[in-house]
Chains A and B, each alone.
Chain A
Amino acid sequence: MRSKIDKILLIILLIAFLVSIYLIFQWVPQIKASNPAEQIAQRIFYFHVPSAWLGFMAFFVVFCGSVAYLVTRDRKYELISVASAEIGVLFISLVLITGPIWAKPVWGIWWTWDVRLTSSLILWLIYVAFLMLRRYLPDGSKRANLSAVVGIIGFIDVPIVYYSIRWWETQHPKAVMASSEGSLAAPMFFAFMFSLATFTLLYVYLIRKRYQLLALEDTINKQFKEMEIL
């Protein structure tokens, strides 16, 4: 049953990805920009922004999983948190990679300490630290407790980080920011929403798979233990 759902999900995901790629690279009209490189680079937006949103979502799931774990002490929630943290780091990594690729032709620089960039980087650092912590601890209920505590504190900190950097940025000379795009044209909006839906599906698929894998590891390890005992 479970594997059947996964298979269907995977097929939908593949089709959705092909469709989004078509929408993004063929269907969406060219934006008006003086720089031809910018016209191409702009399309990265359809991957960049959904990754960022899904990254946030993933960390919200880490938070919920951590709270649920501390309330129930159910291993299940620990595994969901870990799986989601890993995928969140993956998505934010994508954000941090696609961002500079876009920025170089458009702004002329790879990186600037702008609020979005800086807070994404700090966000990434927070959850990399979360995963590192788990690497340094032996498996067990102690590790589950400690990482749940960090999962909660980390997420509460996220808006504060964003807020503080936005504040800090206004104190500093502005980066060479292009004027904001304004509202999206209808086809762009559609392509964006489609891409967002595809990424959401990707998240769902990945977290299911990762969770299953983690649970399977537990089962196998337990069976080995069981064999030792008998």
Chain B
Amino acid sequence: MGAGQEERGGSPGRADDAGDTVCTVRGLVKTYAPARGGDPVRASDGIDLDVRRAEVFGLLGPNGAGKTTLVRQLTGLLRPDAGSVDLLGHDLVRHPDRAARLVGYLGQESTALDELTVALAAETTGRLRGLTLRAARAERDAVLDELGLGPIAGRPLKKLSGGQRRLACFATALVGERPVLVLDEPTTGMDPVARRAVWAAVDRRRAERGTTVLLVTHNVIEAETVLDRVAVLESGRIIACGTPAGLKELVADEVRVELVWRDAPPLDVPEVAALRGAATETGRRWSLRLDAAGARAAVAAVTGGPAFAALDDFTLATPSLEDVYLALGGRAEGLVKG
């Protein structure tokens, strides 16, 4: 799938071919009552979405973009004001209770499990997913083994580090097989080993069982490496949808230039003063998105003469999903790299 499909305007989340679609969302609207004196917040503002079988589909956006509100509507936790959600042929707006029988969900909170041991949390969740005691224990052992949680199986979740606790919660989401997994920022706080365990477990289920994964993330690097397709959210709308590579082609002619000044930027140099208008400033760091010629000129300007003396560091990079997000009019803050 190439960049041609990511038309702006219209419904970027809609797939052209409806073949083997697992989840179809149309016109989803959810408005939260206003805080005192404020305006009502449209957390979902007319969302269309198609997720295909066995893909890892991402929802990318900064905090407050409406990612969690969207997945809560897809898991039956939140009733939309308008629109439809069809998951594997089931109307989840009319039958939200069916979501629990189709979806394994990993939310952001672990308070219901915090005082249980890792093993009991996994076993109990399996039993509440309808497994018999024997099946729940067998799946518990298999999943804890797969994720390398065996050594800490007897420890309560709240005694674990944030990343370990997150991995234990991920384990509970896997016990009791489901055709769809909805994971809300699953790797928050995890070290690289735990992250690899998560993505290996996801890949295995996808390859062996055709499991579809809907992933919420605000991590750009993760989105680029693990997602098959990604929808970029901003203020309750999907502003772009496609493969990470396809989306990046939208800004393929751009180069990202990062400049870090030792102290104050040398604004007395006219070329530097001219760059300032295009730069996003974060402390001593300037971040610019320029076309190739502009980037060459900028580098020439800051690596020669008095500007170079004021420069601490500079980098040139090909565009990332963050640049796509910015090019489409997203707010700068909130996305995480690494």
The answer to whether A and B belong to the same complex is no
